[in-house]
């Protein structure tokens, strides 16, 4: 394929995405809610959703109602769950577009109920319980009463119940077991009252891999779908494949004399006669402005030198004597027998692979490839 027009771009391998989804399905033996918030972790939400539907995905989760409405525009069928807070004024649109909302407090529930009744319709909700993440969710103590209350609210249809793990990627920690126990207690009480909703779910990607007894009716997977390890303590099985590569191009090559200052504030000064290239990626693309970056050029790992600019940065090319303007440069991905992973970049940047890929800016084209 020819990517000639692009100076920086990502390549999204949709067959790898489909493969990873099938792996998750077979590991969990459950329907998988494909978590495609934040533009499918930077991979491109709409194309990802369509590719997942081709292999049977029926459930999608996003963080915000705005993402859900965009997704619904692109995929008329499929269940869509909003994981975050939705203002009551969106309820009529959620009903119209068949979007499921998350609910966890009674004031918001009352406001949803009023909005739904105005239209003489019902809004579908999943109730979120806080079993230990201390983020969204009704407390374990109030959960049963809240479900009883919701049951009496006109215009609200409780279809699901879920919680979210705080430490599932650290399998040795006891907190997840305690979260599962609390969740199970709530479920037992609800079952006794015949109030257990149809769809119960808890596990994220790490939960699926580490806590087989917490799979309930559905599992919610993000990072593993993209072929990225949930953490360095929770690695994916070998059958998973990374979906995203990130590439750019050499846009200039020059030889400088010793003592030449490179880029803003001359934080790099050449020591010798040095070959310095420019590549077309910068911090406004999501390539972090820090000093320990490197990329692949003609199969060699070469260091970025000097301050990273908004749209460009400089690269030390002494080890690549035959480099030419237009050469492809790999930021994440494979070149010849060399590879740079999102996990390696995360380690350089002091963050996690999630932030690396979801931070790739919207202006970077997502090019679909299937290998």
- Catalytically annotated residues: 37, 264
Candidate list 164, 215, 288, 298; residue touching ligand PLP; CB under 6 A: 164
Instruction: With beta carbons less than 8 A apart as the criterion, state whether 115 and 65 touch.
Output: no
Nearer to ligand PLP, 99 or 281 (CB): 99
What stretch of H or E contains 366?
strand 366-369
Shortest Å distance, C-beta 100 to ligand PLP? 13
What stretch of H or E contains 46?
helix 45-54
Stretch of 174-182, 219-227, 270-278, 279-287 contacting ligand PLP, by CB under 6 A: 219-227
Whole-number Å distance between alpha carbons of 122 and 140? 26
Instruction: With beta carbons less than 8 A apart as the criterion, state whether 91 and 65 touch.
Output: no
Residue 205 found at the interface with ligand PLP (CB under 6 A): yes
Nearer to ligand PLP, 187 or 302 (CB): 187
Candidate list 182, 220, 288, 298; residue touching ligand PLP; CB under 6 A: 220
Coil, strand or helix at 270:
coil
Candidate list 14, 36, 65, 221; residue touching ligand PLP; CB under 6 A: 221
366 φ, ψ to 5°? -100, 110
Residue 106: both structure tokens together: 């009674």
Shortest Å distance, C-beta 165 to ligand PLP? 9
Residue 126 found at the interface with ligand PLP (CB under 6 A): no
Residue 269: both structure tokens together: 């000064």
Residue 83 found at the interface with ligand PLP (CB under 6 A): yes
Instruction: With beta carbons less than 8 A apart as the criterion, state whether 352 and 222 touch.
Output: no
Residue 223 found at the interface with ligand PLP (CB under 6 A): yes
Shortest Å distance, C-beta 32 to ligand PLP? 10
Residue 204 found at the interface with ligand PLP (CB under 6 A): yes
Long-range contacts of 76-79 (CB under 8 A, 24+ apart): 77/53, 78/49, 78/53
Residue 35 found at the interface with ligand PLP (CB under 6 A): yes
Stretch of 4-12, 220-228, 324-332, 338-346 contacting ligand PLP, by CB under 6 A: 220-228
Stretch of 15-23, 85-93, 204-212, 298-306 contacting ligand PLP, by CB under 6 A: 204-212
Shortest Å distance, C-beta 202 to ligand PLP? 9
Residue 230 found at the interface with ligand PLP (CB under 6 A): yes
Please give the C-alpha separations between residue 224 and each of 40, 58, 145, 255, 282, in angstroms, as whole numbers.
12, 17, 35, 43, 27
Residue 81 found at the interface with ligand PLP (CB under 6 A): no
Shortest Å distance, C-beta 220 to ligand PLP? 4
Residue number, nearest CB to ligand PLP = 222
Could you tell me how many residues make up the chain? Answer: 371
Query: 129 to 158, contacts with ligand PLP by CB under 6 A?
Result: none
Long-range contacts of 190-195 (CB under 8 A, 24+ apart): 190/144, 190/147, 190/161, 193/144, 193/147, 193/148, 195/144, 195/147, 195/148, 195/151
Site size for ligand PLP, by CB under 6 A?
Answer: 13
Binding site for ligand PLP (CB under 6 A): 35, 37, 83, 164, 204-206, 220-224, 230
């Amino acid at each position: 394929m020819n990517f000639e027009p692009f100076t920086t771009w990502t390549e999204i391998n949709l067959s790898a995405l489909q493969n990873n989804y099938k792996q998750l399905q077979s590991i969990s033996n459950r329907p998988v809610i494909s978590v495609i918030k934040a533009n499918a972790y930077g991979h491109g939400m709409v194309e990802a959703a369509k590719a997942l539907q081709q292999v049977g995905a029926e459930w999608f989760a996003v963080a915000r109602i705005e993402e859900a409405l965009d997704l619904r525009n692109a995929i008329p069928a499929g269940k869509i769950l909003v994981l975050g807070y939705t203002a009551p004024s969106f309820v009529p649109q959620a009903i119209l577009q068949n979007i499921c909302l998350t609910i966890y407090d009674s004031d918001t529930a009352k406001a949803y109920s009023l909005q739904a009744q105005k239209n003489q319709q019902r809004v579908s909700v999943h109730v979120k319980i806080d079993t230990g993440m201390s983020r969204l969710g009704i407390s374990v103590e109030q959960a049963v009463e809240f479900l009883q209350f919701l049951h009496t609210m006109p215009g609200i249809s409780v279809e699901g119940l879920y919680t979210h793990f705080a430490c599932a990627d650290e399998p040795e920690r006891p907190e997840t077991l305690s979260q599962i126990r609390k969740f199970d207690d709530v479920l037992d009480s609800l079952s006794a009252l015949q109030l257990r909703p149809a769809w119960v779910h808890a596990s994220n990607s790490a939960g699926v891999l580490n806590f087989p007894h917490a799979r309930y009716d559905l599992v919610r997977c993000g990072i593993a779908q993209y072929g990225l390890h949930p953490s360095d303590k929770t690695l994916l099985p070998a059958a998973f494949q990374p979906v995203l590569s990130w590439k750019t191009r050499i846009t200039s090559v020059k030889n400088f004399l010793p003592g030449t200052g490179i880029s803003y504030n001359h934080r790099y000064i050449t020591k010798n006669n040095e070959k310095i290239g420019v590549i077309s990626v910068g911090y406004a693309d999501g390539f972090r402005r820090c000093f320990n970056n490197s990329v692949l050029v003609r199969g060699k790992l070469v260091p970025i030198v000097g301050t990273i600019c908004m749209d460009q940065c400089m690269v030390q090319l002494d080890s690549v004597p035959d480099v030419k303007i237009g050469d492809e440069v790999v930021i994440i991905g494979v070149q010849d027998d060399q590879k740079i992973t999102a996990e390696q970049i995360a380690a350089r940047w002091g963050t996690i692979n999630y932030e690396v890929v979801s931070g790739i800016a919207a202006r970077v084209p997502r090019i679909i490839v299937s290998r």
